[in-house]
Every structure is written in C-alpha cells, then in structure tokens.
C-alpha cells in the first residue's frame, strides 16, 4: 500500500507544493503548485509577503486533497522570523534578511556585548549580519516598537506551522541558523540572550526534528474541505532537508546545496568548533537526527538571478539557458570576483559591481553579458574549491566526489566548472533534494522509513544521477592561483 505526504518548500525566490508517494521501495514526487516568493519594498524596508505565502500554502493543501495525503511539513530559508503579540496576532510583516537594517550590527555586538570567540564557541555558527541575533540587535538599537510589544518570536516555518496547527514550537535545524542556540545542547543559550539583553520576545520551545506537531486546525480543514491531516515539524531549514536527501553511499561525503545560496560542506556526528574553524568562519548547523552539517554559506545563483534582473531592466531579456550559452562562448579566466564579498549580497546592479570589483583588483573588466556570466560561473567554482580545501584541512579528510543537489544542479555549466576547479567528479542530483528530504523526514516521523541512512538509500533508488568528470585541470589549477591572489583581501 502506498502512502502520500505533502512537502511545502518555500525558497527565497519561489515556493512549491509537492506530493510525495512512497511504495515501500522508492519515492516519487509530483509538483501540484508553484508560486513566486517576491519580497515587497515599502518606505525603505524590505518585507516578506507572509499573508500571500500563507494563501499559497492553503492552496497547496487544497490541491493535495485528491491525493489523500496523511501529513504535511514546511521548510523555508533560515534566519528570518515573525513576531506575535500577546494575543498571538502577527506584529507586521517579517523583514527580509537582505534588508539593510543589520548593516554594522556584527561589529556593534562584538564590540559592546559579546566576544567573537565566545559567540562562536557556543553556537559554532558562521558570524553573518543576516543572522537572527543581529536582526534582533538592530531592532533593539532602533527601539522598534514591535519587539517591545511582542510576546513570541517564531521562525518562518514555525510561523506557518502555528497558523496551521495553533502549536508554537521550533526544532534544531531552523533554530541553529539564529546564532542563539547552543550547538552542543541543542537548546537556547541563555548566556547569549543575557549578553545581548534580550528581554522580548520569548523564544519558542525546541523539540526534535521529525515530530508530529499537531493536526490541521478545524476551521482551516472546514474552509478547504479536507480532513485534519498531521502537521509535522520536520527540518524547518531547507538546507537541512536538502542535506537529508544527499544520495551519498558513505558516511564521509562533500555536498553543495545549490540555489540562491550555495551551501558547501560535509556531515559530522558532532560540532567541530575550534580556533581554526572560527578563523575560517565555518558553520556548524544542526541537521536531522542531531547531526552536524559543517558548511560555509556562499552567495550562489543569486549573482545570476540578480544580474538577469538588471539586464531585463536595461531592456536585454535572456532566459537562464541563453545566459549559460553566452557564458560558454566567452573568454575563460578573464577575471574573478569573491562571490561572498559584501557588495554582492544586496539587491541592485550586480554586473556593475562586478566591473567595479575587477577594476579595484587590477583585473580586466567584463565587457559583455557573456563575460560577466563566465566570471560568475568560474568564481563560484573557484570558491567551491577554496571551501573544499578548508573543510579538508579542519576534518583531516580527503573527498573525491562532490554531490551537487538542489535547483542549481540543473545548471550543467556550473556542475562542469565545479568538477574542473575541484579536480574531482561531481555527482548531480536530485534537483528536488529539498522536497525529497522534507518528504523522507515525514515518512520517518510516521514510522514508514526507519532512519536517515535508509532514506538516503531510497532516494538513490528513486532518482537519476548524472556524473561530471574533471577536465583541463592544469589550466584550472593555474587560474585558481590567480583567483586566490585577487580575492585575498576582499
């Protein structure tokens, strides 16, 4: 007898509802709804349109009605949150992590409230100004009235779970992105909370990933004409759903979850927190079954997405496939950027910022769209190599295969560039890794799949993988030296 669940995946640019069916041996996915997740800029602040997103979530549930799903789980991007007042009412729209309100907050907090070494020692998380901790710092420093009148903070997946079930809890994968959770105990760090003098709002209780949270509220079930299915709190962080779906056959593996962000790392049994991982700013995020994902956040396909938006504004509209072809015909290794440099993280004219970066670092500037695209692809691949070497240094392990999962895995130009730069094979797939992981965790929660190891075996059997072998490694090795030189001080 087959069983079905609904996986709702909300990315930073789009969302979708996917019905997953498990027949005891393989998982099959069917997309039933796809929608944009477009931020809204209003009076100098960038917000998430959460009411529209919740409308789409309800539409996913409605469209899943003919499939007779048993449960649903929601995953989203990390760090962002909503505030509820004392009556459980939403306190305005959640602010987007790319909003400029956190500019300078890292320096402020580390200078006045908590030492960098101690903050990292507790959380093991890459210190970035988008993290929840620094968003709260910005609100407190600016005397934001919402934080002073709020009762509770809920991360984005937890907000939607609360609206669906009435239960206000979180789980370790999304909580770990906040830089407020102790990496070892998987509970809130009251030392950090005291140091930043966070009086309001309360943080939700942390329960294990893969827990049945409750049932769909009766009024929503009645509105949609569906049965009160189980709401499962899976891995709320989309990255950890994707990691759960990495089709690795061994315990030691290297992956890149490729989308708006590229998250490159490996999976460990416990956090790796020391002076070297602090120096390299590696992140110990919590995954399913309490595992640690040692990774680095790299600005990823955002560079292409935002560049395309700029070219469209200039009257030059190309599909992503056309942009790939333009990149292939451009001169190789003409110039490089540091993808995660601050100037590339916010919205705006990315192609112009690329030219400015190249001029500042004494490189030839890209003169065409193809040259800009080639610069992005090759810079991302070189950055992957740099992070691979960092992870090998701190773990003492060598990796001969990179698993590329997520929507960006469809980009064969990037996959081949990664194989060339790293000098190892790149195994691509599944593209729908987040949905596979979301669904597999639901089936584990319901007792249909035993554990994560069995889930990965099932996912390997359910997907078609593609392998890219390295080419021209001598040329890429030489180019990597130049990449390191021009990005050394970025």
- Domain positions in the chain: 3-238, 246-429+450-490
Overall average pLDDT of the 1-8 stretch? 95
Residue positions counted in the chain: 490
Q: What is the pLDDT of residue 313?
A: 97
Q: What is the pLDDT of residue 351?
A: 98
Reply yes or no on whether the pLDDT at 489 is more than 80.
no
Give the whole-angstrom CA distance, residue 135 versus residue 95: 9
Q: What is the pLDDT of residue 345?
A: 87
Give the whole-angstrom CA distance, residue 339 versus residue 335: 12
Is this prediction's pTM over 0.75? yes
Degrees, nearest 5: CA angle 226-161-193 = 170
Tell me the pLDDT band of 91, cut-offs 50, 70 and 90.
very high
Reply yes or no on whether the pLDDT at 140 is more than 80.
yes
Give the ranges where 145-274 is alpha helix by DSSP (H). Answer: 145-149, 156-165, 172-175, 190-195, 218-224, 238-244
Q: Which CATH class is domain 246-429+450-490?
A: alpha beta
Pick the CATH number of 3-238 from 3.30.420.40, 1.10.10.10, 1.20.1260.120, 3.40.50.2300: 3.30.420.40
Q: What is the pLDDT of residue 76?
A: 98
Tell me the pLDDT band of 347, cut-offs 50, 70 and 90.
confident
Whether 3-238 and 246-429+450-490 share one fold: the answer is: yes
Tell me the pLDDT band of 13, cut-offs 50, 70 and 90.
confident
The 10s digit of each residue's pLDDT in 299-328 is 999 999 999 999 999 999 999 999 999 999
Among the listed residues 75, 158, 168, 238, the single catalytic one is: 238
- Could you list the beta-strand ranges (E) of 235-380: 254-258, 261-268, 283-286, 292-299
For 374, residues 6+ apart whose C-beta sits below 8 A from its C-beta are 327, 328, 330, 331, 332, 334, 366
The 10s digit of each residue's pLDDT in 376-392 is 999 999 999 999 999 99
| Catalytic annotation present for 238 | yes
The 10s digit of each residue's pLDDT in 231-247 is 999 999 999 999 999 99
Q: What is the pLDDT of residue 84?
A: 96
Q: What is the pLDDT of residue 93?
A: 93
Tell me the pLDDT band of 341, cut-offs 50, 70 and 90.
very high
Reply yes or no on whether the pLDDT at 142 is more than 80.
yes
Overall average pLDDT of the 179-184 stretch? 98
Overall average pLDDT of the 126-131 stretch? 94
* Closest CA relative to residue 474, chosen from 418, 426, 423, 424: 423
């Amino acid at each position: 007898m087959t069983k079905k669940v609904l996986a709702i995946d909300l990315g930073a640019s789009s969302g979708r509802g996917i019905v997953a069916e498990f027949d005891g041996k393989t998982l099959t996915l069917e997309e039933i709804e796809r929608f944009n997740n477009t931020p809204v800029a209003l009076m100098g602040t960038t917000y998430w349109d959460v009411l529209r997103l919740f409308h789409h979530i309800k539409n996913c549930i409605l469209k899943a009605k003919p499939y007779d799903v048993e449960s649903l789980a929601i995953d989203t991007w990390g760090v962002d949150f909503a505030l509820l007042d004392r009556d459980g009412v939403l306190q305005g729209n959640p602010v987007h992590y790319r909003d400029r309100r956190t500019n300078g907050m890292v320096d402020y907090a580390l200078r006045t409230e908590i030492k960098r070494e101690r903050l990292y020692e507790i959380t093991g998380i890459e210190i970035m100004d988008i993290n929840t901790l620094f968003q709260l710092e910005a609100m407190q420093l600016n005397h934001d009235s919402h934080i002073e009148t709020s009762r509770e903070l809920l991360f984005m997946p937890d907000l939607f779970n609360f609206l669906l079930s009435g239960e206000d809890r979180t789980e370790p994968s999304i909580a770990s992105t906040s830089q407020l959770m102790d990496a070892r105990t998987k509970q809130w760090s009251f030392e950090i909370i005291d140091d930043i003098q966070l009086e309001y709002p309360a943080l939700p209780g942390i329960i294990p990933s893969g827990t049945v949270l409750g049932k769909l509220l009766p009024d929503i079930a009645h509105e949609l004409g569906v049965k009160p299915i189980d709401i499962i709190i899976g891995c709320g962080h989309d990255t950890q759903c994707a990691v759960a779906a990495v089709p690795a056959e061994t315990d030691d593996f290297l992956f890149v979850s490729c989308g708006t962000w590229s998250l490159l790392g490996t999976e460990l049994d416990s956090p790796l927190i020391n002076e070297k991982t602090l120096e390299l700013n590696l992140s110990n995020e919590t995954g399913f079954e309490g595992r640690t994902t040692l990774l680095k956040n790299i600005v990823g396909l955002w560079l292409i997405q935002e560049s395309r938006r700029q070219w469209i504004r200039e009257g030059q509209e190309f599909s992503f496939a056309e942009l790939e072809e333009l990149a292939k015909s451009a001169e190789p290794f003409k110039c490089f950027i540091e993808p995660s440099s601050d100037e590339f993280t916010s919205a705006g004219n990315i192609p112009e910022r690329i030219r400015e970066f190249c001029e500042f670092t004494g490189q030839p500037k890209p003169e065409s769209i193809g040259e800009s695209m080639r610069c992005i692809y090759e810079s991302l691949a070189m950055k992957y190599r740099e992070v691979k070497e960092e992870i090998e240094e701190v773990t003492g392990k060598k990796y001969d295969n990179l698993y590329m999962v997520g929507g960006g895995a469809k980009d064969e130009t990037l996959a081949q560039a990664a194989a060339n730069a790293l000098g190892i094979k790149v195994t691509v797939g599944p593209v729908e890794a987040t949905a596979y992981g979301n669904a597999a965790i639901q089936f584990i929660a319901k007792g249909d799949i035993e554990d994560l190891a069995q889930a990965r075996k099932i996912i390997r059997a359910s997907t078609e993988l593609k392998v890219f072998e390295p080419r021209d490694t001598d040329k890429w090795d030489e180019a990597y030296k130049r990449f390191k030189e021009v990005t050394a001080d970025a």
